Chains A and B, each alone.
Chain A
Amino acid sequence: EDQVTQSPEALRLQEGESSSLNCSYTVSGLRGLFWYRQDPGKGPEFLFTLYSAGEEKEKERLKATLTKKESFLHITAPKPEDSATYLCAVHDPKGATNKLIFGTGTLLAVQP
């Protein structure tokens, strides 16, 4: 079954304490893996797309990496404003309509 699993469900960090979020996927023929940030009561905000194993993307304190089975979102020296839910998604391999399969997210809380 095609699915996306994120861990941990929730993560509490102190400001400046680096960590990683995990997204593992089981789809055949990955056509893209996506990371989103979602603040409470708002729609997801696009962060990164990764297309092939070994690829890395960076934005400020965030770096996303991809292997053949999983992706990591590394957060370096986080600040309280990085607190949000981080969602991972992949293209549904069935059909060519670019539907997304989402994980249930990791709720990150960064305390000052």
Chain B
Amino acid sequence: DVKVTQSSRYLVKRTGEKVFLECVQDMDHENMFWYRQDPGLGLRLIYFSYDVKMKEKGDIPEGYSVSREKKERFSLILESASTNQTSMYLCASSTLGTGLNTEAFFGQGTRLTVV
């Protein structure tokens, strides 16, 4: 079975802290994604990466950065956490090719609360 594992299910951080969310996948997927999910807004793409050390901004990158030093690991960094970054964060991975088996698989999510 495909496995996407996020390092924490729940996190509580203080305003101004630097926060690291880690994600690991075991399917040798080229693509990895970070989304946030908020009630009424759906899933919004923060950043994605299609190769090691490659990254592209998604729809809402402000206040976030990412790191992909190894193919299986994709980290989301909140440089200085703010209360409006309280949300559910979801990591996903998929292949880069076209055709069959291009679906994305998600981790279990990290519920981050910034106080």
Contact = CB atoms under 8 A, between A and B. Distances in A.
Interface in A72-112: 87, 89, 91, 96-100, 102-105
B106 A44 contact: yes
Nearest to A104: B42
Query: Size range of the interface on B?
Result: 20 to 34
A97 B48 contact: yes
A41 B31 CA distance: 24
A36 B40 CA distance: 17
Contact of A102 (B42, B96, B103): B42
A46 B108 contact: no
B42 A98 contact: no
A31 interface: yes
Interface residues of A, number: 24
Interface in B71-113: 88, 90, 92, 94-98, 100, 102-109, 111
Nearest to B51: A97
Nearest to A31: B98
A102 B44 CA distance: 8
Interface of B: 4, 6, 31, 33, 40-43, 45, 48, 50, 56, 58, 88, 90, 92, 94-98, 100, 102-109, 111
Interface of A: 31-32, 34, 36, 41-46, 49, 51, 87, 89, 91, 96-100, 102-105
Given A32-B103, A87-B43, A98-B31, 8 more contacts: A44-B90, A46-B105, A51-B100, A97-B48, A97-B50, A98-B102, A103-B42, A105-B42
